[in-house]
Amino acid sequence: MTEPELPDGAAPDRPPGRAPDPECLFCRIVAGTIPATRVHEDEAVIAIRDIAPRAPTHVLFLSREHIPSAADLTPADGPMLGDLFGAAAAFARAEGLTEAGYRMVTNIGAWGGQTVAHLHVHLLGGRSMSWPPG
């Protein structure tokens, strides 16, 4: 039996559509065609300073793969999510945010406040956060 052919960039244990999207702002930042202030890079994740910060520290942790949102994650994404959250925790420690605390959030869809359809997690710190967020 022949294996089905997968679209470019798709792995057999992941859904198709994970190839970079040339129209996606964050895919272009990951590729280096749009400049950004990078604060972390590894094989799975990059982190950049937000260009419109909502807190003294506001960093976006991006999947290198084009995943539209957290709603598109699968169990196979566990290692990447571990890398993402581990990188964020290390960054927060290095910035001195852990004692006072910080917030991490991802938005999903228009009603969730997502403005770029590429998985990313906001790390916000350096000020007190209120609840509910908005």
User: Is residue 107 packed enough to be buried (19+ CB in 10 Å), middle (13-18) or exposed (0-12)?
Assistant: middle
Tell me how far apart the alpha carbons of residues 33 and 30 are, in angstroms, rounded to a whole number.
8
- Among candidate residues 58, 66, 118, 120, the one labeled active-site is 120
> Any idea what DSSP says for residue 57?
E
Active site includes 118? no
E strands, 1-134, are 38-41, 45-49, 57-63, 102-105, 120-125
The catalytic site residues sit at 120
